[in-house]
A and B are shown apart, each in its own frame.
Chain A
Amino acid sequence: MATTIAIDASGDGTLTQRSAFWLFMRRKSTIGVLMVLPLLAIIAGLVAYPAGYSMFLSTLNKAETKFVGFANYLFLFKRETFWMVVQQSIIFALVAVVGKAFIGFVAAHAVNTIPTKGQRKWRGMMLIPWVIPPALSTLGWWWLFEPTYSAINWVLAEIGVDAIPWLSDTFWARFSVILVNIWIGAPFFLIMYLAALKSIPEELYEAAAIDGANAWQRLYHITLPMMRNIIAITVLFSIIVTFANFDIVRVLTQGGPRDSTHLFATYAFRVGIESNDIPLGASVSLFMFPVLAVLAFLILRNVRKRAMEL
């Protein structure tokens, strides 16, 4: 009896240490953490570090030699241009997203009525604006708008309409950047809404038809409620992406005329890189953060709610 205990004790000592380590390594949560580690490293290096660094930069003076606290932010609050950027960013994001959502919704319905056989072709064609790199397609648009050779103005002249100052008038410049953003972004809504439409069981429409609903009532009572979640998520997601847009404004107007088309990102670039005040540029870009954080929170909450409903 005594011998047995002794062997057990000596064996247990080494066994527990080694097997505890292996048990820890084999736990699902450990493996999970290990597997997302590369991604975490990338996020830390490419997102967390730059974000933290720009927060640090925003507290320095222009020469980056002295800590100035919130002085850069307070300075921005007093600038009229900054408030114009705030206003333009909001107008740009809201109008563009509503436009994209509306066009995507209508186009999704149109594509959905095409018989399945020919649908692929149309779906593919309608995705083109979204697939081309925006900087390139925006160059194409710039050529259409550009005052000297504007193809659109040429067509307008042919039908007897005066040339429109697409990029040099405040209203038309804002109109143009929003138009191009809608053109590029609408296909994303089209695809999301088309998928949502296809997931609505045909029987619901048949039941509604027997219940006496006409086309508008079917849209209002069946389609919209069934798509509510996907509409909410795509709109929130798109507001984030649109709000943080850079390339369209950069290529089309460089923020002009008179800074009237600047968004946070392009204004931060103008102030920080082109005017060589990196701390002030960092402060501008950080203003996006609270807005985007609130939107991201709303999206995540929405997704969680959706997951719970399933």
Chain B
Amino acid sequence: MADVTLNKLVKTFDRTEAVCGIDLEIANNEFVVLVGPSGCGKSTTLRMIAGLEEITEGDVLIGGRRVNDVPPKDRNIAMVFQNYALYPHMTVAENMSFGLRLRKYPKAEIKQRVVEAADILGIDDLLDRKPRQLSGGQRQRVAMGRSIVRNPEVFLFDEPLSNLDAKLRGQMRIEIKRIHQKVRTTTVYVTHDQVEAMTLADRVVVMNKGRIEQVGSPSDLYHKPSTRFVAGFIGSPAMNFIPCKLVEANGGLAAKVNDTISVPIPADRSDRVRAQVGKELMLGLRPEHIREQRADDGATGVACAVTPDVVEPLGMETMVYFGLNGVEICARVAPEASPNPGTPLTLSIDANRAHLIDPSSDMVL
């Protein structure tokens, strides 16, 4: 068992910086997910931890030991690849035991470990098959089995679910979580899918353009994003960003969207943003915080009359799209409100959940 520390980690490919100085502490047994759009440096960071990519600058420490110059095989890590990287000419059992055989473990112990891992993953009956005889989900399990038998200090996952279809991805996500609860091991998991990040992680690291945007628990990222990028990246459908102006109103502050809509800023946040009065800002609102009017809306509900352009009924909820201040806004409405395109509708904005973003710095105020 080990913790992982990244110190000012930099990776440069032919003069372009893929990773620009990352600092991160991953505690023992913690499940950390690196998430971000493609090209944000998350995979490169993972590969530097694995030792598959040379480190340009900075240090990687595993269990307190600096491993920059330690080859992958001596770092006591195991990695699950996006394309599984199973050896096609070996059976499942041979695939899983390859690392142990190379390390000259006794045969009885190899067998025992393979059987145990196969049992955890529910692939006991596949041990004699070749990878090409397996489905995508089964291959994924074998790839994880290969990591588990090694009993490593750190598990590394590189987009392990992106080659599976949506249904299987959901199942495997639960499976990975279950395995981590059973085999407590420090885990670094890379994905571009924010749902995977939110559901699996103890802590999520949101990366963008080679830098860390924010580190926090899934609920922190959702409720208290620190930058516009994180606010827009976490949550699906994405947060709406509406141009507004911060004005003084009724003794407090309000984000004025247009003449009819003005979202009051809660008193506890007013002091933080008072300096921005008179400035053009962005109002960040998640679709779930723009909904139909309800009896219990109370003082924080701001009425907002709109005319829907498009209505998407999804069964348990209905997405309503409309234009406001030149941007398209998405709202999440209960199906009972039965919105219709072209028919005016009054929605309610939850002022408590609104975020104010400074467009010049892209920081959440």
Contact = CB atoms under 8 A, between A and B. Distances in A.
A226 B89 contact: yes
B72 A209 contact: yes
A178 B81 CA distance: 46
Nearest to B158: A203
Interface in A187-246: 201, 203-204, 206-213, 217, 221-222, 225-226, 228
A211 B72 CA distance: 8
Contacts of A211: 73, 98-99, 102, 146, 150
Nearest to A228: B89
A305 to B, nearest CB: 14
A80 interface: no
B2 interface: no
B342 to A, nearest CB: 52
A80 B72 CA distance: 62
Contacts of A217: 102
Interface residues of B, number: 22
A207 B79 contact: yes
Nearest to A224: B89
A206 B99 CA distance: 12
A162 interface: no
A120 B110 CA distance: 45
A206 B81 contact: yes
B255 interface: no
Interface in B63-89: 71-73, 77-79, 81, 83, 85, 87-89
Given A209-B72, A213-B102, A221 B87 contact: yes
A209 B71 CA distance: 8
Contacts of B103: 212
Interface residues of A, number: 18
B89 A225 contact: yes
A245 to B, nearest CB: 34
Contacts of A228: 89
B85 A213 contact: no
Nearest to A212: B73
B83 A213 contact: no
A207 B73 contact: no
A8 interface: no
Contact of B73 (A201, A209, A222, A225): A209
A158 interface: no
A210 B99 CA distance: 8
A213 B73 contact: yes
Contact of B81 (A207, A213, A221, A309): A207
Contacts of B83: 201, 203
Interface of B: 50-52, 71-73, 77-79, 81, 83, 85, 87-89, 98-99, 102-103, 132, 146, 150
Given A208-B87, A221-B98, 4 more contacts: A203-B85, A206-B72, A206-B85, A207-B81
12 contacts: A203-B85, A204-B85, A207-B79, A209-B51, A209-B72, A209-B73, A210-B50, A210-B73, A210-B79, A210-B99, A211-B73, A225-B89
Interface of A: 201, 203-204, 206-213, 217, 221-222, 225-226, 228, 309
Which 4 pairs show the lowest CB-CB distances between chains A and B? A211-B99, A203-B85, A212-B73, A207-B85
